[in-house]
Structure 1
Amino acid sequence: MRRRRRAPTSWRRCTEAHVSGAWSRLRLCGNPDCRWAYCDSSPNRSGRWCAMGECGDVMKARAYRRRARAGAGPQDGQVP
């Protein structure tokens, strides 16, 4: 008797998301070094990273360093 192979977990989860209607909330992480997909559970669907404590911190630090190297001063209305 042949045993039926189970679909990989990631494929099964994608199928379940598509069937349940959660597909529209699936996103790719905004960190180009990260390959994770995640379910955006924010109320207005504006999530950008798979995990704020990891990829979010890295991306915000990169943006800060980029601005600092460019010599960006305080923004309008802000006190240094």
Structure 2
Amino acid sequence: MRNSDLQLALSSLGIEERIELAVKLWDSIALDAESQGLGEREQREIVLRRAEHRTDVQAVVPWSQVKASLKP
């Protein structure tokens, strides 16, 4: 499918459908990434993000809250 065809198909979807599609796409990427293992760059990024999280634990917003805020 060409990029322009994909954009046209996506524009015909409603917001909720596009969000659902994005979540499914992201989940499929995550599964592939898990099966391939993490590279050195990704491992460094995880270490960095964990360190940032530990310095400000209160800054975390649970996914359920983020997801609920996206619904109309």
TM-score range, shorter chain: 0.3 to 0.5
The structure richer in strand per residue is 1
Greater relative contact order, per chain length (Cα 8 Å cut-off, separation 6+): 2
Q: Give the alignment's TM-score, normalised by structure 1.
A: 0.35
The structure richer in helix per residue is 2
Q: Give the alignment's TM-score, normalised by structure 2.
A: 0.38
